[in-house]
Chains A and B, each alone.
Chain A
Amino acid sequence: MVKTERLHAQDVEPTPGSAWLIGAAAWFVPGLGHLLLKRWGRAILMGSAVYVCFFAGMAMGGHMFDLNPSPGSSVLFQIPPMIGNLGTGALYIICWLLGVGFNDDPEQAARATYEYGYIFLIIAGLLNYLTMLDAFDIAAGRKS
């Protein structure tokens, strides 16, 4: 390691353990990370955006993904949208346990809003990943 790299490595403060816990809480329950940080405004705005996006997707007849491929499909095609869906944390896990939103129902797929629905469900997860990163950065002291 050259001298400048060693100096930079000494400058970087270690991430506190609480930041990882806040990040995990923010992923598991959308908005909880900011609530724990007492950032009420951000918690309400960002958390409610994720919930509205998720429930709008469900109301539109959206479909969520797990590792069970539909007939004629590969499990590899399930993984990227599943990573997006997983971003909603407990919402995804509860739906998975209850079997809600995972069925391949032809009537549901025939709805005009089906495609919008499953995109909204993925977007809800991706928005919650952003919310989680924001809470983590605040907890780690990297932003105000």
Chain B
Amino acid sequence: MRHFFVMTLFAALASVVLGSMGKDTPRDRWLYGLKVFAEFMLIGLVLSWILYFVP
């Protein structure tokens, strides 16, 4: 649970900064930040499940 929380915290902080500077309009920034957050979480979960099965 701690690992998941740390990953979520990292994804949230990075997406805040990337979303704030990424696009031109506030709506696009929100969407971009959410997209970056979702990508971090999804890729993190996929990688962790792949590594779970690697001996």
Binding site for B on A (CB under 8 A): 42, 45-46, 49-50, 52-53, 56, 60, 112-113, 116, 120, 123, 127, 130-131, 133-134, 144
Contact = CB atoms under 8 A, between A and B. Distances in A.
Given A127-B17, A130-B17, 12 more contacts: A42-B21, A45-B16, A46-B17, A49-B16, A53-B13, A56-B9, A60-B6, A113-B6, A116-B6, A123-B14, A133-B21, A144-B24
B10 A131 contact: no
Interface of B: 2, 6, 9-10, 13-14, 16-18, 20-21, 24
A134 B24 CA distance: 12
A144 B28 CA distance: 14
A123 B21 contact: no
A53 B18 CA distance: 14
Contacts of B21: 42, 46, 130-131, 133-134
Contacts of A60: 6
Nearest to A60: B6
A110 to B, nearest CB: 15
B21 to A, nearest CB: 4
Contact of B16 (A46, A113, A116, A123): A46
